[in-house]
Structure 1
Amino acid sequence: MPGLRPKDRARLAVERLAAIYPAASELEHRNAFQMLIATILSAQTTDRSVNSVTPALFARYPDAAALAHADPQAVEALIKPTGFFHVKAKTIVACSAALVERFGGEVPPRMEDLVTLPGVGRKTANVVLGVAFGIPGFAVDTHVTRLTRRLGLTRSTDPVKIESDVTKLIPASEWTGLGLRLILHGRRVCVARVPRCPECMMNDFCPSSTVRARRRRPLTVSGAGVKLGHGRGTSPKRPRRPAARH
């Protein structure tokens, strides 16, 4: 939509995505350790797939000390539905061992410590900090990279620069939620090859939308917020959940 600044589009994205995805994280967990392991397992699979294996995994290995001494093959059998289970099993066992050796078996609440753990980069660290500790962090993965560029919130492809660009546009209290919701939306609607723009609740202001301009809702930005017109499609459709793993 012409005339909207990146800050305006970021605010709209926060509002629209929160309305569709009220739970920013769909990974089931009871503590920081479970959130860390679940986030590592979520690579290249869906949260639903991870949630299908973690109850049995954590029942058998309830903490870092237990998982650190686990037989990798036994772990593989438990996490197989998440895909890439050979690598993931080795990673979460090694990560647990590092937690025991360096942090007394506890998940550290600091970025600089988290990224020293096997299998943990800035994206995973930001998810854990935001969800498990309530420390604001904007997670950037391939979905977030694609969506923030399509929305015109950044021009960069570098995750650190994207994180910097987007966090300048919204309050810190919104960082975690926006990042996680962009990931969900990227999996379900704003997919890489053929984005489902007609189903997207942001197609009236996204500069990359394939929906024709004449079909978009009239939209103006005022100091008090964003006002929507009364044209067709003022109620965004709920995105469909994927039938298969993305």
Structure 2
Amino acid sequence: MGDPLELKIDFSKFAYVPEADEREDEKIACGKWTSKSNENKKRKTKATASTGKKQKISLLPSFPPKDWEKTYILIEKLRADCDAKIDKYGAEALPERNQGEKVFRFQVLVALMLSSQTRDEAVASAMKALQEHGLTVENIHLTDVAVVKSLIKSVGFYNNKAQYLKEVAETLIQRFSADIPISAKEIMTLKGVGPKMAYIVEFIAFGTCSGIGIDTHVHRLLNQLEWTKSKNPEESRKQLESWLPKDKWGEITKLFVGFGQEVQQEKEKILRKALDLGEHTADALKLLEQVDLNVWKEAKKYDLLEEVKGLIEAP
């Protein structure tokens, strides 16, 4: 017999080459998201030594973060006075409650539509002007868009928002008997309304909750607390919903928005509230540091250093 046939195959021809879209994906390093470089460099795919396959990191936590309930209770204690801006100027506080449930629901939606990229006080001013004009679905539908613009000119992007309000009023009359649709899925079909607004409207207007309303501020807090590892509010929502008990879905938005407002805008007040929590004070101060409030700096500014000493580590 002759020499056995030697079969030679060039396996390099079958090597996996990632698609362009994959190469441009966000990088993941040490479990944390990092931004793409300015030069838009190609990602180097790392393979495991044993399998040669790319490692996959799930965006969804499979179990709740350690001690999350303890942190949640601390935030509830710090928010027990219900005295943040959202409590005074939020979508639950601004609507008229003496005009019937239908009007209340519509005004909840309007308050949220006006709130995007706008100060709370400006939203309150615009809502007052609209209410004095007559803030009902039917009246907004009949009001000229130029008049609506003049009534809400205190808010950001008022030209666009005025047009959205007109279109929403028309849609509600044509499709929903001049009322807000009952589900977040249908609420999202309205012009200018995204998931965050829809879930909040659903909860305030109907007391039901099919999702959590996450804005950029809550998104930041969730990452600081390490409850999520996400790059945008929508990712935060999906991760949070994967483990947070559903009976807390509706309340967490207002709770966290108010907490974040005080941490950012009313540092002395939130610090004094933490110092008044007795046996929980040390944990509350550590929580404030975790969400980037410099406790020592603020304590010095407001003559509270003696009360802080011994409770948290000095810088």
TM-score by length of 2: 0.58
Runs of 5+ consecutive residues of structure 1 not aligned to the other structure: 214-230, 234-246
1:135-214 → structure 2 map (5 Å cutoff): 135-136=208-209, 137-190=211-264, 199=270, 201=274, 202-205=284-287, 207-209=290-292, 211=294
Bigger mean CA offset, 171-180 vs 116-125: 171-180
Instruction: Answer whether contact 1:109 1:133 (CA < 8 A) is retained.
Output: yes
Percent identity, aligned pairs only?
27
- Tell me how many residue pairs correspond in the alignment: 212
Report the Cα distance in structure 1 between the residues aligned to 2:217 and 2:295, rounded to whole angstroms: 24
Structure 1 counterpart of 2:191: 118
Q: Is the 8 A contact 1:17 1:178 kept in 2?
A: no
Q: CA deviation at 1:155?
A: 0.6
Offset at 1:142?
Answer: 0.9
The answer (yes or no) to whether the contact 2:145–2:166 under 8 Å persists in 1 is: yes
**What is the CA distance between 1:85 and its match in structure 2?**
1.3
**Cα deviation 1:11-63 (Å, max 9, x = unaligned):** 23542353243686533113100100011011112333222222331342432
Match of 1:15 in 2: 76
| Residue aligning to 1:32 | 105
The one-letter amino acid of 1:5's match is K
* Most deviating of 10-19 and 136-145: 10-19
Deviation at 1:6, TM superposition (A): 5.4
SS in 1 for 2:178: coil
CA distance in structure 2 between the aligned counterparts of 1:185 and 1:117, rounded to whole angstroms? 30
Question: Structure 1 residue 175: deviation in Å?
Answer: 2.3
Distance 2:74 2:165 in 1: 33
TM superposition shift of 1:93? 1.2
Aligned pair in 2 of structure 1 residues 189, 157: CA closer, same or farther (>3 Å)?
same
RMSD, aligned CA: 3.2
Deviations 1:151-174 (A, max 9, x none): 111011233331233244543333
1:68-121 C-alpha deviation (Å, 9 max, x unpaired): 232111111111112321111111111111111221211012011000000111
**8 Å CA contact 1:203, 1:209 repeated in 2:** no
Residue pair 2:122, 2:154 contacting (<8 A) in 1 also = yes
- Cα separation, 2, equivalents of 1:196 and 1:18: 13
Pair 1:68 & 2:141 matched: yes
Q: Secondary structure at the match of 1:148?
A: helix
Unaligned runs of 5+ in 2: 1-64, 98-103, 275-283, 297-305, 309-315
Superposed displacement of residue 190, structure 1: 3.5
For the structure 1 residues 55 and 190, does the alpha-carbon distance in structure 2 shift closer, same or farther, using more than 3 Å as the test? closer
Query: Aligned equivalents of 1:55 and 1:37: distance in 2?
Result: 12
What is the TM-score normalised by the length of structure 1?
Answer: 0.72
Residue 204 (structure 2) aligns with: 131
Alignment of 1:43-82 (within 5 A): 43-82=116-155
2:158 paired residue number: 85
- Partner secondary structure for residue 80 of structure 1: coil
The structure whose Rg is larger is 2
Deviates more, 1:199-208 or 1:51-60: 199-208
